[in-house]
Amino acid sequence: MNKQLSKVGGRIDAIFYCPHAPDEGCQCRKPAPGLLEQIAERYGITLDGVPFVGDSLRDMQAAHAGGCRPHLVLSGKAMGLRGLALPAEYPPHTRMHHDLDAFVTHWLSAASTRTAAMPVSPTAAELPAA
C-alpha cells in the first residue's frame, strides 16, 4: 500500500488498528472511539467535524462518538442499503454515498465551495491610503 501510494506522490503517516479480540472490552475497537482518540492525541488536534468514511454501522457509531462527521459508503458491508433510506439506528447526520468515489467527489466539491466562499484579504495596493 505504501509503495503504491508513493508511486503517485502519496504517503501514509500512520496506521492505527485495534489488536484486541471482540470479547476483550477495549476502548479502541469500534464502535468505541478509542482509535480516533489516539489519532487526535498523536497529532494534537480535535476531530470535531472531521469527515469519517466507513461502510458499517459500527464505523458510523465510532465516528459519531469521536466527534467526526459520519459518511457511509454503500459498498462493502453497506452494499445492501443501496436504494433504501438510512436505518434509524445510524447516528444523526450520517451522509450516504454510493461508493468511495462518490464521497471523494462530494468532499472535493464541498471543499471548493468553502474555499470560494472564504473572504480574500486585500493586497497592499488595494488598501486605502493612510
pLDDT of 128 reads 45
Selected residue with higher pLDDT from 91 and 123: 91
pLDDT of 110 reads 87
Find how far residue 125's CA is from the centre of its chain. Answer: 40
The pLDDT tens digits of the residues spanning 76-100 come to 999 999 999 999 999 999 999 999 9
How large is the average pLDDT for residues 39-44?
A: 95
Model-level pTM greater than 0.85? Answer: no
Task: Tell me what percent of the chain is helix, strand and coil, each rounded to the nearest 5.
Answer: 40, 10, 50
The pLDDT tens digits of the residues spanning 6-26 come to 999 999 999 999 999 999 999
Residue 52: HSE in the Cβ half-sphere, 13 Å Cα cutoff:
27
